Amino acid sequence: MSRSEVSPFSQEDFLALGENQIVYRRRFTGKQLKAMYPEAKNAPEAAQFEALYSADGTPVLITDDHAAVLNWLQETGHDMAVRH
């Protein structure tokens, strides 16, 4: 599709394609976490965090424990794919 063509999906339709089926992971520091989520104001700035987000960008898990991420994936039946 060229840039001038219109997508057959609205942004909401596109985001809903993977809802409840696809999550993506992001890593960030406590400092970044506090900038994104003010309610995390007590997070240690140097700590490392991982978050899982649904396809529409809604956070489903934020943790400083990688095992928690793996447990959540296993419990919900999600598989992890690596993007290079």
Give residue-wise pLDDT tens across range 60-75. Answer: 999 999 999 999 999 9
C-alpha dihedral sign at 60, 66, 70, 75? negative
Q: Are strands 59-63 and 23-29 parallel, antiparallel or unpaired?
A: unpaired
Give residue-wise pLDDT tens across range 40-60. Answer: 999 999 999 999 998 778 899
Q: Are strands 48-54 and 59-63 parallel, antiparallel or unpaired?
A: antiparallel
